Chains A and B, each alone.
Chain A
Amino acid sequence: MADLKIRNLKKGFDGTAIIKGIDLDVRDREFVVFVGPSGCGKSTLLRLIAGLEEVTSGTIELDGKDITDMAPAKRDLAMVFQTYALYPHMTVGKNLSFALDLAGVAKSEIKEKVENAARILELAPLLERKPKQLSGGQRQRVAIGRAIVRNPKIFLFDEPLSNLDAALRVQTRLELARLHQDLQATMIYVTHDQVEAMTLADKVVVLNGGRVEQVGSPLELYHHPANLFVAGFLGTPKMGFLRGVVSRCDATGCEVQLESGARVPLAQTAGHLAIGSPVTLGVRPEHLNVVAAGQGRMQVIADVSERLGSDTFCHVRSHSGEMLTVRVRGDFSPGYGEALELAFEPAHCHLFDADGQAIGKALQQAA
C-alpha cells in the first residue's frame, strides 16, 4: 500500500514562493507524472515528498501517517536522480546493497535482493565495476536498481532520462513502463518532456508557476485541457491558437468570429460569455487540413515545413499574424510563402475565455 495525500503544500526560498499551495492524491500502484516548464516547481515538489527540502506549510501523508517533518531516511521512499548520484567509490554491487547494509539486513538476504535487482535490470555482469566504468545507460540502470532493492513504498524519479541520448531515452522509457507493470509499484516521475508524461503516466499533473494547472489521465488532458496553458503544453507540435470574439449565442450553440474574419459555428454554449467577448479558439495540428482554394475556413501563408517522412509539419501564418502548425502527409511540402487554405471541424476546436480558461467542453480542473 502506498497512498500519498498532499494538502495545501507550500514552499518558499528566501521569501520567494516556489510551491504555492498544492493539493494532490497519489493512489497505490499509480504512475504519476509531474510535468511542466523549467522553474514550475515540479522538482521541488518531488524533493518535498522525498524530505530533501523542508516544507514551509501544508502536510504530506503516506498511508494515513503524517510524514511532513520526517527525515528522508525514515519515509521509505527511493529516488532516482537526474545525475544518477551513484557512489563513485563503490562497485555496482555495493551501490545496490548500501541501503540494505545500513538497515542491517542479513548478508544472505542482501545477496538475494541484489541478485534479483541485477537480474531484472541485466546488471549481473557489471556488479564488480565502478560507476565510472559504466555507460550512461548502465549507470541509469544501477540508479534504478538501487531503488528496486529497497522495495520502497514509492519510487521517485527526478528527470531520470534527461542525460541519455535520444535513442536510449526511448528505450529506457519503455523499460520503465515495463518495470512499473512488473513491480506493480507506485511511482512519481518528474519530467519537462511532455512525451514522457503522455506515454508513461496513469495520471499527469501539469504544474506551472508553483501551482497545479490540471490533473488527469494523459488523454483526458489532451482532449479536454482545462486552460490555455495545458492546451499549449501538451501535444507535439503544440495546439494552434486563433483570436476572435463571440458573435452569436443561442440554444443551438455559439459562433466565434476570428480576427481573420472567418466565422466558426460551435455546437457548444459560450458559458458565461456575452456576445462580443474576446475568446481564443484552439485547434490541434492533426485537426487542420489543407484544402483546395475556396473550400476552407481561412487563408494562410506557408512558413517553414518540417519533413519527418511519415508526416510533414507545415508552420503557417494567418492573415491576423497567428502562427499555426498543420500536420499533413509526408509527401506534401508547400513552398515558403505559398498561399494555402485550411479547413477544420468545429467539433475539434477548444474554446477559451479571455482569462485562458476552457469553456463548456473541457472538464473542470480536477483537484
Chain B
Amino acid sequence: MLTLKQTRRLHSVLLGTLAWAIAALIFFPILWMFLTSLKTEIDAIAMPPQFFFSPTLENYLLINERSDYFSFAWNSVLISFAATILCMLIAVPAAYSMAFFETRHTKRTLLWMLSTKMLPPVGVLMPIYLLAKSAGLLDSRISLIVIYTLINLPIVVWMIYTYFKDIPVDILEAARLDGASTWQEIVRVLLPIARGGLASTMLLSLILCWNEAFWSLNLTSSAAAPLTALVASYSSPEGLFWAKLSAVSTLACAPILIFGWISQKQLVRGLSFGAVK
C-alpha cells in the first residue's frame, strides 16, 4: 500500500516520463534530419537506418559551394521581419479598437477574418500570380512581404485582440482621465502592459513567415527567394539526395530555431499573460 506522498511522487514521475516521451516524439524528426545531414549519401539511405556512423560536414561544404546560402537567408530574414512589422503596425490599432470599442459586429468581423485562413491558397494562385506579374513584382521581396502580411493578419489580430481583452479597460480609462491622447494611451500604457503578448505574437508571425513555402516557391525564383526556395531546389532536380536535403533543411531551420530558443522566456510570459493584472 502506497502512502499519499509516494502516490504523489509516482504520479509526478509518470507524468514527467510521459511529457519527455511526447517531447522526444516531437523532436525526433528534427534530430533525424540533423543526423542525416552529417551522413554520407550512402549512409543516409542505408537500411536499416544507421544511428552510428562517422559524421562528415561534406554536405554543408557542398551546399555552400553550389548555392549562396547567405543570400537566401538574408531574404528570409528581411521578408519575415518586414512582414511581421507591417502586420503588427496594422494589427495593433485594429485589435485596440476591437478590444476596447466593441460593437455588435466585432465578433462577426473577427470570425470572418479568421475564415479567410480556411481558403486554400492554391485557389487564389492564378489571380495573385497575374496581379504580381502585371505589377512587375514577380521575384520581388515586396510581393512576398505584402502577401505574408495579409495572410498572417487574421491570426495576429486575433492573438493581439485576445491579449488586449485581458487588460482591464479601467487602466486605459484612468489614462484617458489622466490626460492621455489615444496615441499616448496606446504607446505609454497599452503596449508596455501587453509587451509579453506582443512579443509572442511577433515570434509566431516570424515563424509563420519563415516557414511559408507555397507563395515563395510560386512567386520567386532567385533574387527574392528565401530559404524555403533553397530547400525546394535541392529536392527535385537532383533526385532525392537525402543527406544534402537534410543539410540544407537544417540550415534553413537553424536560425529561426535559435531565435525561438532565445525568445522562449518572452514567449512563455506572453502565453501566461493573465498574471499581469
Contacts and interface: CB of A to CB of B under 8 A. Distances in A.
A73 B179 contact: yes
Interface stretch (B123-131, B167-175, B252-260): B167-175
Interface residues of B, number: 20
Contacts of A304: none
B189 interface: yes
A103 B179 contact: yes
Contacts of B188: 98
B193 A89 contact: yes
A72 B177 contact: yes
A79 B174 contact: yes
Contacts, number: 59
A78 B276 CA distance: 24
B188 to A, nearest CB: 8
A79 B178 CA distance: 9
Nearest to B195: A89
A99 B177 CA distance: 8
Q: Among B168, B170, B175, B179, which residue has the most Cβ atoms of chain A within 10 A?
A: B179
Given A83-B168, A87-B193, A99 B173 contact: no
B137 to A, nearest CB: 41
B180 interface: yes
Interface in A68-110: 71-73, 77-79, 81-83, 85-89, 98-99, 102-103
B176 interface: yes
Interface in A26-58: 50-52
A86 B178 CA distance: 12
Given A87-B189, A87-B193, A88-B193, A99 B168 contact: no
Interface in B180-208: 180-181, 184, 188-189, 192-193, 195
A102 B180 contact: yes
A146 interface: yes
Interface SS majority for chain A: loop
B180 A73 contact: yes
Nearest to B178: A99
A81 B179 contact: no
A146 B173 CA distance: 13
A88 B174 CA distance: 12
B277 interface: yes
Contacts of A86: 171, 174
Contact of A79 (B177, B184, B195): B177
B171 to A, nearest CB: 5
A118 to B, nearest CB: 17
Contact of A81 (B170, B184, B192): B170
B142 to A, nearest CB: 36
Interface of B: 168, 170-171, 173-181, 184, 188-189, 192-193, 195, 276-277
Interface of A: 50-52, 71-73, 77-79, 81-83, 85-89, 98-99, 102-103, 146, 150
14 contacts: A50-B173, A50-B177, A52-B173, A73-B181, A77-B177, A81-B173, A83-B168, A87-B193, A88-B193, A88-B276, A88-B277, A98-B175, A98-B188, A146-B178
